[in-house]
């Protein structure tokens, strides 16, 4: 898949007219239909005036190729973290509201549970020994202070997930660091949950988080890996079409070489 063409077809081309004469000539063409400027992302010539103009070093930073693909992956991770944050915050709100009506819920549970026993017996379902009933009973019998602590803990965790989602969506480097640290801290908990009980959801979540951490560490060169931030920025600049054109320009006063036949 050509990520450059795909992005340009959806979002439009990015053209820029540098003031430097050499670069301007390289990026500009005159056609029978009028002038055309080379897109900084996909490299195609686009009819019409350039969308921007100024010094080459003030040209818009354009994500191309692998950087563009990485941006798509990061935003998919951001969506996943955002959905998770909303679910956690909703759970925190529900527990907090449930805590305020705990006495009424306890009375309803104790009064209505016997009414379900005849139906459960006809279905050959042991209501008292079921895992669902044990979970409900442990939640209902919990103290108000315990539920408040759980709600606050979920609130903090949900906010952290939301911050991580925002940082990844905006493609910020601090968001990448935040995601690696926050996700790594949660992996031991997920492993502990798997030791207690193996489920498809838990295995999938663990694999996804481990893959996300490895991907961010390696591809974004975090914590000094593969040259760190300097190497990461250099790789991004090398992918810029405008900077490739600028690097190919021969400075004034430099000896000219004859073309290779």
Residue 159: helix, strand or coil by DSSP?
helix
Number of domains in the chain: 3
* Residues 188 and 151 both lie in one domain: no
Stretch 203-208: mean pLDDT: 90
Q: What is the pLDDT of residue 161?
A: 93
* Residues 221 and 205 both lie in one domain: yes
d(CA 223, CA 217): 8
* Residues 161 and 184 both lie in one domain: no
Q: What is the pLDDT of residue 89?
A: 93
Give me the chain's average pLDDT, please.
79
In a domain, 88, yes or no: yes
In a domain, 249, yes or no: no
* Residues 40 and 92 both lie in one domain: no
Stretch 141-154: mean pLDDT: 77
Which residue, of 62, 83, 101, is where some domain finishes? 62
Whether 78 has a pLDDT exceeding 90, the answer reads yes
Q: pTM for the whole thing? A: 0.67
Residue 46: helix, strand or coil by DSSP?
strand
Res. 128 pLDDT band, cuts 50 70 90: low
pLDDT digits 0-9 by tens, 150-166: 889 889 999 999 999 99
* Residues 191 and 154 both lie in one domain: no
In a domain, 124, yes or no: yes
Which residue, of 167, 194, 227, is where some domain finishes? 167
Q: What is the pLDDT of residue 112?
A: 63
* Residues 32 and 110 both lie in one domain: no
Whether 124 has a pLDDT exceeding 80, the answer reads no
In a domain, 254, yes or no: no
Helix 173-196, helix 144-169: angle, nearest 10: 140
* Residues 235 and 150 both lie in one domain: no
In a domain, 217, yes or no: yes
Which residue, of 27, 44, 62, is where some domain finishes? 62
Q: Which residue has the higher pLDDT, 177 or 197?
A: 177
Which range of residues forms the domain containing residue 20? 3-62
Stretch 40-50: mean pLDDT: 87
Q: Which residue has the higher pLDDT, 100 or 44?
A: 44
Q: What is the pLDDT of residue 177?
A: 94
Res. 248 pLDDT band, cuts 50 70 90: very low
Q: What is the pLDDT of residue 213?
A: 92
* Residues 215 and 163 both lie in one domain: no
In a domain, 256, yes or no: no
* Residues 20 and 101 both lie in one domain: no
Whether 252 has a pLDDT exceeding 50, the answer reads no
Beta-carbon count within 10 A of 216 CB: 24
H or E segment at 226?
none
* Residues 159 and 77 both lie in one domain: yes
* Residues 162 and 178 both lie in one domain: no
Res. 27 pLDDT band, cuts 50 70 90: confident
d(CA 19, CA 12): 23
d(CA 42, CA 3): 9
- In 3D space, the residue among 13, 231, 229 whose CA is nearest the CA of residue 5 turns out to be 13
Stretch 169-177: mean pLDDT: 92
Query: Range with the lowest mean pLDDT among 22-26, 46-50, 231-235?
Result: 231-235
Q: What is the pLDDT of residue 136?
A: 61
* Residues 45 and 73 both lie in one domain: no
In a domain, 136, yes or no: yes
In a domain, 29, yes or no: yes
Percent of the chain with pLDDT strictly greater than 90: 21
């Amino acid at each position: 898949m050509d990520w450059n063409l795909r992005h340009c077809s959806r979002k439009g081309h990015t053209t820029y007219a540098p003031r430097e004469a050499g670069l301007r000539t390289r990026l500009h063409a005159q056609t029978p239909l009028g002038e055309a400027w080379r897109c900084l992302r996909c490299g195609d010539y686009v009819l019409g005036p350039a969308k921007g103009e100024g010094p080459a070093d003030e040209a818009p930073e354009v994500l191309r190729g692998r950087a563009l693909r990485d941006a798509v992956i990061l935003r998919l991770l951001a969506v996943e973290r955002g959905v998770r944050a909303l679910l956690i915050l909703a759970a925190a709100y529900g527990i907090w509201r449930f805590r305020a009506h705990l006495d009424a819920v306890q009375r309803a549970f104790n009064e209505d549970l016997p009414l379900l026993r005849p139906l459960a017996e006809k279905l050959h379902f042991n209501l008292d020994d079921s895992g669902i009933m044990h979970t409900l009973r442990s939640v209902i019998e919990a103290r108000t202070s315990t539920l408040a602590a759980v709600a606050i803990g979920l609130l903090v965790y949900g906010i952290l997930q939301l911050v991580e989602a925002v940082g990844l969506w905006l493609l910020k480097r601090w968001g990448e660091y935040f995601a690696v640290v926050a996700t790594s801290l949660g992996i031991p908990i997920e492993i502990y949950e798997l030791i207690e009980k193996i489920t498809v959801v838990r295995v999938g979540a663990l694999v996804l988080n481990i893959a996300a951490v490895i991907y961010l560490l390696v591809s974004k060169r975090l914590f000094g890996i593969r040259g760190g931030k300097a190497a990461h920025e250099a790789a991004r600049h090398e992918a810029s079409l405008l900077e490739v054109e600028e690097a190919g320009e021969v400075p004034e006063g430099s000896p000219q070489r004859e073309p290779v036949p």
